Amino acid sequence: MATGLNDEFYKHLHALDERYGYSWANPWSERTWAHDAKDDDPDLVFCQNYVKKKFPKTPKEELEEKFDGIFFKLIDKQQTTVAEIASVLNCRSSDVRRLIRKHELQEIYDKYQKFFRSTVIYDEKSNEYFAALTMNDLLDFCNIAKTNRSNVSRAKSTGRKVNGYLFYFMEDYLHGEKPKKSKVEELYEKKVTRLN
């Protein structure tokens, strides 16, 4: 495996080993230069500076710095759950939650999360598509009794009509297209919005 470290770096590293008594013959010894080296040791200073110059940022630091851009690219690909984002970024869900808070993206995250979980309503009479943020908003918009909630949920899965309306999952409606930011904002504010 190539590490990107050159011979000069290793020369200083081995000098530290020799100076502070690390024995290659006894690699399990408790004593190492990491414990004994002084902070101003020239070989140690060289090694530290070399590593900082060669590897300026850790992968975690790079993720922290570039999280905004990565976050919006994933949102556009409809990967909106913390678990999905963490899986793509190869980190823990708690790291993603922390980065969302740190970058002040919680409100945007919530809006997109709700947008992708919303329901699309197709009105056959007007030939228009609408989005409803919650099931209650959908029932109110379509003038459907709250007691028919389960019928609407089943209709969304099976493609049946209820009172002249068809219902779709937002993810199915988008077919992988990016959502318009204006529609996400509008749906979050109005609870029901026209899509076309």
Question: Per residue in 35-65, pLDDT tens?
Answer: 777 888 898 899 888 888 887 776 777 788 8
Number of domains observed in the structure of the chain: 3
Cβ 49 vs Cβ 151: under 8 Å: no
User: 63 and 47 in one domain?
Assistant: no
Tell me the pairing of strands 192-194 and 165-169: unpaired
What's the pLDDT score for residue 188? 84
Residue 2 lies in a domain: no
User: 99 and 80 in one domain?
Assistant: yes
User: 63 and 49 in one domain?
Assistant: no
User: 172 and 124 in one domain?
Assistant: yes
**Model pTM above 0.75:** no
User: 129 and 176 in one domain?
Assistant: yes
Residue 110 to residue 132: CA distance in whole angstroms: 15
Residue 1 lies in a domain: no
Confidence of residue 33 (pLDDT cuts 50, 70, 90): low
Residue 86 to residue 79: CA distance in whole angstroms: 10
| Domain that residue 67 falls in | 59-113
What's the pLDDT score for residue 30? 63
Confidence of residue 79 (pLDDT cuts 50, 70, 90): confident
Largest CA-CA distance found in the chain, in angstroms, rounded: 86
Alpha-helical regions (H) of the chain: 7-19, 33-36, 42-54, 59-76, 82-89, 93-102, 106-116, 135-141, 149-158, 170-174, 181-190
Triad 188, 194, 196: Cα angle to 5°: 130
Mean pLDDT of 166-172: 89
Residue 76 lies in a domain: yes
What's the pLDDT score for residue 179? 75
Q: Is the pLDDT of residue 121 over 90?
A: yes
User: 79 and 126 in one domain?
Assistant: no
User: 123 and 190 in one domain?
Assistant: yes
What's the pLDDT score for residue 1? 38
Which of 122, 109, 98, 121 shows the shortest CA–CA distance to 188? Answer: 109
User: 158 and 90 in one domain?
Assistant: no
User: 122 and 102 in one domain?
Assistant: no
Tell me the residue type at 28: W
Residue 94 to residue 83: CA distance in whole angstroms: 9
Mean pLDDT of the chain: 84
What's the pLDDT score for residue 88? 86
SS3 of residue 77 by DSSP: coil
Final residue belonging to a domain, choices 90, 113, 136:
113
